[in-house]
Amino acid sequence: MRAGTIGAPILAVVAVLLVTRCVAAGPAAHSSHLAAQAQAVQPIPGGAPAPAVTSSDSFNATDVAWLQLMIPMTEQAVRLFDLAPDKTSNPEIVSLSMTLGAAHRAELGRLHSLLDRSGVPYVNVHEGHNMPGMVTAADLEAINAADGAAFDRLFAQHARDFLRQSVLVAQGEQDEGADADTKAFAATMAEAHAGELTGLEGVGQ
């Protein structure tokens, strides 16, 4: 079941699960628990193992949890935006999808850059999770199977869900995070996504 929203208090809990607790678990943990997934040593190209999760002194658990949440959320949103040019003849949605796709690819690069600076190797600890704002593989399959007005409605609905949730969790990062650059980027992202939500008003309805 998909919960309604995740704000600052929940993001703080996610942070504890993903980082604080997993650091205590040790780098050898490879369990199905989210914390263990975040902590586990992951292989990287070339065969060398990634280092254990240890973040830079300027980052706290919320910073890392927010980045580890926003990267897969944004990746999935970009996949949604990429569908539109081949699936709809609605020029408004085609234009919006291209603008959103470009903007969120740029954000994705910045998110990865911040996580790299934290010293925490990227692991998709949310893979397969059906959570607020996440455009799941099943969602993408259903959207891709739709045509015409049905596609337009689904596209706009999931784009709005992603943008609304990203604004909420960005507020959580601003409230609870520690790294100045990450908090500043969360504020910039929240403002941009709020503007994108305004641009989606009435689209697909």
Tokens 């601003």 found at: 174
Residues in the chain, overall count: 205
Output the pLDDT for position 189: 97
Which residue stretches of the chain are H helix? Answer: 8-15, 21-25, 34-39, 61-87, 91-118, 137-145, 148-176, 180-199
Distance CA 80, CA 135 (A): 7
Q: For residue range 88-122, list pLDDT tens digits in order.
A: 989 999 999 999 999 999 999 999 999 999 999 88
Confidence at residue 131, expressed as pLDDT on a 0 to 100 scale: 79
| Distance (Å, whole) CA 19 – CA 31 | 15
Query: pLDDT-based confidence at 57, cuts 50/70/90?
Result: confident
Predicted local confidence at residue 176, as pLDDT: 92
CB 185 within 8 A of CB 70: no
Give the whole-angstrom CA distance, residue 105 versus residue 91.
Answer: 21
Contact 197, 170 (CB under 8 A): no
Per-residue pLDDT tens over the stretch 18-55 = 433 333 333 232 222 223 333 332 333 333 333 334 45
Q: What is the DSSP letter of 179?
A: -
pLDDT in the model for residue 128:
64
Q: Which tens digit of pLDDT belongs to each residue from 124-172? A: 776 766 678 899 999 999 999 999 999 999 999 999 999 999 999 999 9
Q: Of 162, 4, 195, 3, whose CA–CA distance to 81 is shortest?
A: 162
